[in-house]
Structure 1
């Protein structure tokens, strides 16, 4: 469900006046400035902005921190957003049937509009390992598959004859786009309509078509959790837990607080804290590190988070607990995943022609369903997660 649009900078007289924090210059041979910043093929995460670098030499810089002045500017923008929220009528309209707005979005855009995520294997090397010829049988569930821009690149590089991808989205139109694609191969790829936040009923077990409890090795969630209301997080994590095998992984990437997309929202788009509606009716949430730790791991951060103070973490924890109660499930505590990693990916994109700087922020994480002592029946168990290589 990633909303793949070209980033539009805020008014240049506002955002473009802020300079990023630069790192000390590396020792480079004379006349080879930035030579090491050019890799073939290009590797994300390898281009650091240092003293003496020309910001507009490249289209993007990795690990770019913004200074306190920019952070203060962002907080001013958030305050203005809170002062002019979405009215109650429209809030109900956007929250009552979110699939409707995503159907419209995919209906208005052809498959050429969406860019394939060729970076997936680099960001999550285990995907390459599990799709290699030597890999064991593996079931991969992509939640929020959109037009197939994650599934098809994985399928194109797959050499594992026993890899099966289940690509699910709650937009019927998105699933149609996948099924109509000439690369759709039902032997290795199955696309279905499924809402990750749906509550199981007597008639429906709440799981994706063709999948049973404990049948999935890896769940891929790329820019999908942000499309859910905070009140849906509880049920979504429960459903992911149910479908995963013990020891199974969740590969997660989504929007982080302070991302340009959040800062640039104007009046009439604020639904609740860090949660907005776009002009086309689709919703988006911007996460913090401590928040994800609490949602997936059920643990408080003791002031160690780079994103939140102790007081902020306490508020986040209380808010999530209130969501648990509001969800009405009341059957059991939210499942606790092992949090293997939560990273904050800060990047500065550059429009070299217009001399604009655009600060982006994404969250990237890996979660694991705890493995039962007697259980070793999943593909992930055969992989050394430190090196992402197959264990002998």
Structure 2
């Protein structure tokens, strides 16, 4: 794997042509609805087949997202961060908003630092976070709309309800509430989650999630980028709409551009801290295949009210 790979114009054109070819035939509209309405069922079956064997724990999280660490624990990763990440670290520490917590009792109420992971799956981010924030006055919430995934998280030997609350929740549902009040979170994390949502719903999801951030809180995002190898290799007949596809198991994926990501979070009232396109070259030597990977990685902060000091 090579990081920060520059694409030639030929690389871009080849990817564009491949995507134009694989999306020229779209799934008929009358068949598309099930991929949205039945999304939970498709993902529940996915976790039933793969259990916890599909993904590896994301131990890279704290290098890319040091904001996940409570302020008192940040020095533990400072030396592992590159200088540009250290600069982000010093400007991205959210401040506590006590007014949001003066409500009925809720899990994690007494923690001074609260994180929400949306679309946690079987816990590949959850357990690295849990094992890092223990005894640091921090609390993690994690949700997924797959009951099977949440049960797998709770059954994990490292699950600890003194620092974590896992719950079933569909972020696309507009009238459902979270088990914590608005303006109570320091960090929201979404890793390869928003891309699985129908493009017409994503803005509403980000808008609603952002209401739970404290002023100064930060939204961390990592997901699929436009022209990624996984988009290029889709076969004809799997396209639902522009840059939005369904896999053979019924799960869906959208591929973002840097500009789309910026608009998505800016429209939710958040300001940019980081918004980058992570291009890498991955080579499978056995198969003699070179894969151009593209991921989006972004950090957006909730603004303070104009009257705030």
Counterpart in the other structure of 1:128: 69
Counterpart in the other structure of 2:58: 117
Q: Does 1:350 align with 2:309?
A: no
Q: 2:155, 2:277 → 1: CA distance?
A: 36
Q: Bigger radius of gyration, 1 or 2? A: 1
Counterpart in the other structure of 1:370: 303
Q: Does 1:294 align with 2:263?
A: yes
Change (3 A) 1:354 1:65: same
Counterpart in the other structure of 1:336: 269
Length-normalised TM-score, structure 2: 0.84
Deviations 1:289-320 (A, max 9, x none): 1111111113xxxxxxxxxxxxxxxxxxxxxx
The counterpart of 1:98, out of the listed 5, 25, 39, is: 39
Gaps of 5+ in 1: 1-59, 201-205, 299-334, 377-392
Change (3 A) 1:97 1:375: farther
Alignment of 1:143-182 (within 5 A): 143-182=118-157
Whether the 8 Å contact between 1:87 and 1:268 is mirrored in structure 2 is: no
2:211 counterpart SS class:
helix
Decide which moves more: 76-85 or 111-120: 76-85
For the aligned residue pairs, the C-alpha RMSD in angstroms reads 1.9
Counterpart in the other structure of 1:320: none
The counterpart of 2:177, out of the listed 189, 207, 228, is: 207
Alignment of 1:3-18 (within 5 A): none
Structure with more contact order per residue of length (Cα contacts < 8 Å, sep ≥ 6):
2
Counterpart in the other structure of 2:48: 107
1:251 counterpart SS class:
strand
Q: 2:14, 2:231 → 1: CA distance?
A: 12
- Runs (4+) of structure 1 exceeding 3 A deviation are 128-131, 133-136, 373-376
Q: 1:121, 1:152 → 2: CA distance?
A: 12
Whether the 8 Å contact between 1:131 and 1:158 is mirrored in structure 2 is: no
Q: CA deviation at 1:124?
A: 0.8
The counterpart of 2:112, out of the listed 137, 153, 159, is: 137
Decide which moves more: 142-151 or 83-92: 83-92
Q: CA deviation at 1:61?
A: 0.4
Q: 2:48, 2:162 → 1: CA distance?
A: 27
Change (3 A) 1:266 1:160: same
Whether the 8 Å contact between 1:246 and 1:375 is mirrored in structure 2 is: no
Q: CA deviation at 1:352?
A: 2.2
Q: 1:355, 1:131 → 2: CA distance?
A: 46
The counterpart of 2:217, out of the listed 226, 229, 248, is: 248
Counterpart in the other structure of 1:69: 10
Q: CA deviation at 1:161?
A: 3.4
Q: 1:245, 1:158 → 2: CA distance?
A: 19
Q: CA deviation at 1:163?
A: 0.8
Gaps of 5+ in 2: 76-92, 94-110
Whether the 8 Å contact between 1:207 and 1:239 is mirrored in structure 2 is: no
Q: 2:227, 2:306 → 1: CA distance?
A: 41
Q: 1:374, 1:176 → 2: CA distance?
A: 44
Q: 1:253, 1:174 → 2: CA distance?
A: 20
Q: How many residues align?
A: 275
Whether the 8 Å contact between 2:133 and 2:139 is mirrored in structure 1 is: no
Length-normalised TM-score, structure 1: 0.67
Deviations 1:333-378 (A, max 9, x none): xx321111101100111112233211100000001111236769xx
Alignment of 1:257-272 (within 5 A): 257-272=226-241
Q: CA deviation at 1:138?
A: 0.5
Q: 1:288, 1:257 → 2: CA distance?
A: 6
Change (3 A) 1:158 1:71: same
